[in-house]
Structure 1
Amino acid sequence: MPKSKRSKKVSLTKIKKKDLDSKQSFIDEIRNCANTYKRIFIFSFDNIKNSFIKEIRLAWRDSSRLFFCKNRVMAVALGRTSAEEIDENLHLVSGKLMGNRGLLFTNAKKKDVLEYFDSYSRPEYPHAGSIATERFEVPEGPLEQFAHSLEPYLRKLGLPTVLQKGVPTMLYSHVVCKEGDVLKPEQAKLLKLFNRQTAQFKLTMEFMWSKKNKSFEDFGRTKDVVFITKSKKTSQR
């Protein structure tokens, strides 16, 4: 009788080696880009979504590389101190890699990069933990856009609903969120159910390193640093 796959033991050393190989691959690619491209932009991002990242990568594929991975990995690749850096003043880039930030390696002109990303934004559903940008209230009455089977779910999310003649119905009006609220998971789910794309996906260029003169420039656009604590940042190239 063949041995059950469930009982198969997997060596933890193999898993660790795979993780190390993956990190080393990122480090090698980032170092290669630092040696290849003329400029490095450090950007912050809000409401990240893979489809928008793919759109940007497609638009810049001929002149640039975009990196979203762990800040520590990117910092190690470039060098965290003046003694470790792989090129002059790259430790200044590493020092800015905290919170929701990534790297854009490019041969494009500074003016073209700033113009593109200043004008680029896409509406998106807000996520749990983000800040509500407007007040949203569900009025009293029937919610005819929802099937009867969704009524228990709406009630679970906090809406005062009942079924009346097979239609989910609000017993009274309910404020889902107010402007400035830090959204809870239930609030974010309700905003999506009601098709409220109140958030914006955007990359904000904050700093730039130039290979030509080894200069580091601050654009004066630094936001309050946002840290990801509940889930690990997904590595993307």
Structure 2
Amino acid sequence: MPKSKRDRQVTLSKTKKKGREHKETIVNTIRQAAEDYSSAYVFSFENMRNHKFKEFREQLKSNSRFFLGSNKVMQIALGRSESDEIRMGLHKISKVLHGDAGLCFTNLPKEEVERLFNEYEEYDFARTGSISTEKVELKEGPLEQFSHEMEPFLRKQGMPVRLNKGVIELVSDFLVCDEGKPLSPESARILRLLGTKMASFRLHLICRWSPGDFEQYAPGPDDSVPRAIFEFVLICGRSLNIAISAKSQITAS
């Protein structure tokens, strides 16, 4: 006789939520990292790419520990004020943990950390809604980089194409995207097919903490600050650091 779908056992006893246990584990892990490493950094990121960030973390795996996730949980772990901070001064970095931010605990020298973060940049394909960094326009004529099987797909993306003796060709000029404007889903797909990477994945240092020392590099990515202004400040600061570094090298030589 087939088993009735209604014949199911239901446990009525209360159980602890897995989410709470997971958060407690993260809090304890962060607090242990604060004891194990000599310094801590808050960083922000643009155009996060998980696989790229994983590679960056692997490079520093032997002497650093990264945390990304709930800012509130990280703030609780570090302490939000002098009265509940786990080490003196840690509440200062807790205050700038807002928006797209993460934590890095490390034993690397300050100069090495600054160099790694300032120089890091990886390009990837832009996603829907990203701002186009350049104008991309395809001219009328054959598109020999695409096989004839792709003609229906390209047509669905809004491209005025046809097959001519087995070769896809544009019957008129086609604007894929315009500089400074958000990418549509169709534009993002076409750019990927063209191999055009517009998204720049970057990491920006916000502040540094070590026992008895605190340094702020840039304002934290607070939601109350317009993102465009925040990124402008970061880019200017980054350019200044590169210029100073280059000048120091010239002077030293």
TM-score band w.r.t. shorter chain: 0.7 to 0.9
Shift in CA distance, 17/33, structure 1 to aligned 2, threshold 3 Å: same
Q: Distance in 2 between matches of 1:159 and 1:11?
A: 57
Partner of 2:109: 109
Shift in CA distance, 74/11, structure 1 to aligned 2, threshold 3 Å: farther
Superposition deviation, residue 134 in structure 1:
1.3
Q: Secondary structure at the match of 1:104?
A: strand
Which entry has the higher C-alpha Rg, 1 or 2?
Answer: 2
Partner of 2:161: 161
- Contact kept, 8 Å, 1:209 with 1:217, in 2: the verdict is yes
Q: Comparing both chains, which one has the higher relative contact order based on Cα–Cα distances under 8 Å and sequence gaps of 6 or more?
A: 1
Q: Distance in 2 between matches of 1:144 and 1:109?
A: 52
Pick from 197, 214, 223 the counterpart of residue 216 of structure 1: 214
Superposition deviation, residue 12 in structure 1:
11
- Contact kept, 8 Å, 2:96 with 2:220, in 1: the verdict is no
Shift in CA distance, 177/78, structure 1 to aligned 2, threshold 3 Å: same
Partner of 1:76: 76
Q: Distance in 2 between matches of 1:92 and 1:113?
A: 19
Shift in CA distance, 50/12, structure 1 to aligned 2, threshold 3 Å: farther
More helix by share: 2
Instruction: Give TM-score, length-normalised by structure 1.
Output: 0.80
Q: Secondary structure at the match of 1:168?
A: strand
CA RMSD of aligned residues (A): 3.0
Superposition deviation, residue 4 in structure 1:
8.7
Superposition pairs for residues 83-102 of structure 1, below 5 Å?
83-102=83-102
Paired positions, count? 224
Superposition pairs for residues 38-187 of structure 1, below 5 Å?
38-187=38-187
String of CA shifts for 1:118-138, please: whole Å, max 9, x gaps: 112122111223222111112
Superposition deviation, residue 2 in structure 1:
7.0
Shift in CA distance, 186/70, structure 1 to aligned 2, threshold 3 Å: farther
Q: Distance in 2 between matches of 1:196 and 1:18?
A: 42
- Worse overlay, 101-110 or 167-176: 167-176
- Worse overlay, 26-35 or 149-158: 149-158
Q: Distance in 2 between matches of 1:14 and 1:123?
A: 48
Unpaired runs of 5+ residues, structure 1, are: 227-237
- Contact kept, 8 Å, 2:161 with 2:168, in 1: the verdict is yes
The amino acid across from 2:120 in the alignment is Y
String of CA shifts for 1:92-119, please: whole Å, max 9, x gaps: 2222222221111011111110012211
String of CA shifts for 1:55-79, please: whole Å, max 9, x gaps: 2222211210011212222222222
Among the aligned pairs, what percent are the same residue?
A: 41
Instruction: Give TM-score, length-normalised by structure 2.
Output: 0.76
Q: Distance in 2 between matches of 1:218 and 1:15?
A: 43
Q: Secondary structure at the match of 1:84?
A: coil
Superposition deviation, residue 165 in structure 1:
3.1
- Contact kept, 8 Å, 2:205 with 2:218, in 1: the verdict is no
